[in-house]
Amino acid sequence: MTVVIDGENLTIGNLVQVARFNEKVKLAETATQKIRESRAVIERAIKMNRTVYGVNTGFGDLASVSIGLKDLAKLQVNIIRSHSVGVGAPFSIEIVRGMMLLRANALAKGFSGVRLEVIETLIKLLNFGITPVVPEQGSVGSSGDLAPLAHMALVLIGEGEAFYKKKRISGLEALNKVGIKPLELQAKEGVALINGTQPMTSIGALAVYDSFDLVKDAVIAASLSLEALRGTRVALNERIHAIRPHEGQIDIARVMRLILDDSEINKSHINCGKVQDAYSLRCVPQVIGASLDTIRYIEGIIETEINSATDNPLVFSDDDAVLSGGNFHGQPIALAMDFLGIALSEIANIAERRINRLVNPHLSGLPAFLTTEGGLESGLMIAQYTAAALVSENKVLAHPASVDSIPTSADQEDHVSMGTIAARKAASILENVKNVIAIEYMCAAQGIDLLKPLKSSLSLDKVMVSIRNVVPMLEDDRPLSPDIERIRELMKDGVIVNAVENVIGVILED
């Protein structure tokens, strides 16, 4: 399936297919006329000697400097070179592929004044598997992600560096290998390539996509812990959630009822006299449900942004207007990414509390640290330490980036979003939460094994089979990092989620 871009209909799922699974990209025929009309406006403005920001003026605080006709092309090359000041490790290939797709899609809307060749060259790089080397750090998120997009654009003009067939080579060499001629930028095209929010939005789109999968694993792991800790199902009663009708809360409670249905373990303690459980068990729908609602909200923000025109100035071909504005400002994404980081952190916070209950014999009713040879064996004691460390790290990472602003360009750009920093932090939090959930799976599975011969629900039996296929029950101390990594792989491949969905149907709709 080829992903067709027209500036209007790109989805997060489309982006994932191109960025992560190398799906081919094609420009919609319906977009070409809009692109040509937009370019014609710029060319007429040049002929009429109209003053247009970024076309025949300098940039930022240098906007009052006029540029002569003979230097218009050089101006565009200079902005790409001068803005390529990123530092740090390179973004992952999938993030850069995502930003390339998003930049091509934004230009395809027909408000940027670039030639068709610019968009076609971006698409060729995607389809041939050439990925610019783009350092992670250096963007303040307004005027767009200037430094990251400049590094991306360097390769289009035959400069910079690129990854091609798992090798890091010069941009020109990469183009030569596949027969792409370096782009010769014309008026407006350099600034159009680097003015936008595509790096932060690419990170955000991939993080949102993965967050939905994480929520599915989080609710399964929480159900497994509830079962291992012999918790009550009363708090999942449909009537409780119906009178506080947050969509996410209702969805999580419903899924947990289905996952935990018809369990021998549950029947064994139905008359135990316990009235209610600790919050980390009782309030799973309220906590994970709130995070799910947040992720759904952020999905809407991202879906809007990936089909937006975000450069400056913008070209309106219906009346030959070239208007300077601020669509490059990353504030919508910055706030959303800070919110995502907070929402994901809470999933890990409550999971770590369940992990603690599982390993603590004073709370669990299970052998200390989930080993039958306590003292000689430490069991899963230190797994909780690791979860605690990850949760603590998330508390630091969840501090919002969007509340900070350091003026740039001699105070012309006096309020910036820091959106790329917010997005990078959210992505780091996401990885930490995945590890916490993997640890919870490991500990809860051990707890279930220690309750044998009692059986769990059919869904959770399938979960146990999936986990025990790659991680055996802990009987003697061993390094646990490989176990966590194997469970992470199950999560990445959707093995556990698929096992449950084969029993109860689709867990959650995005």
Whether 164 is a known active-site residue: answer no
**What is residue 170's DSSP assignment?**
E
Alpha helices in 398-457 (DSSP H): 419-449
In the set 53, 164, 209, 441, the catalytic residue is 53
Q: Within a 10 A sphere around the Cβ of 148, how many other Cβ atoms? A: 30
Instruction: List the one residue out of 286, 278, 275 whose CA is nearest residue 243.
Output: 286
H or E segment at 5?
strand 3-5
Three-class secondary structure of residue 222 per DSSP = helix
**Cα distance between residue 320 and residue 342, in whole Å:** 44
- Which amino acid is present at 345? S
**Cα distance between residue 306 and residue 52, in whole Å:** 26
Three-class secondary structure of residue 184 per DSSP = coil
Q: Burial letters for 60-82: b for 16+ Cβ neighbours within 10 Å, e otherwise? A: eeeeeeebeeeebeebbbbbbee
Query: Alpha-carbon torsion 196, 200, 202, 204, what sign?
Result: negative
Q: How far is CA 439 from CA 137, 164, 396, 436, 484, in A?
A: 31, 36, 21, 5, 6
Instruction: Spell out the SS3 assignment of 356-373.
Output: HHHHCHHHHCCCHHHCCC
Active-site residues, by number, are 53
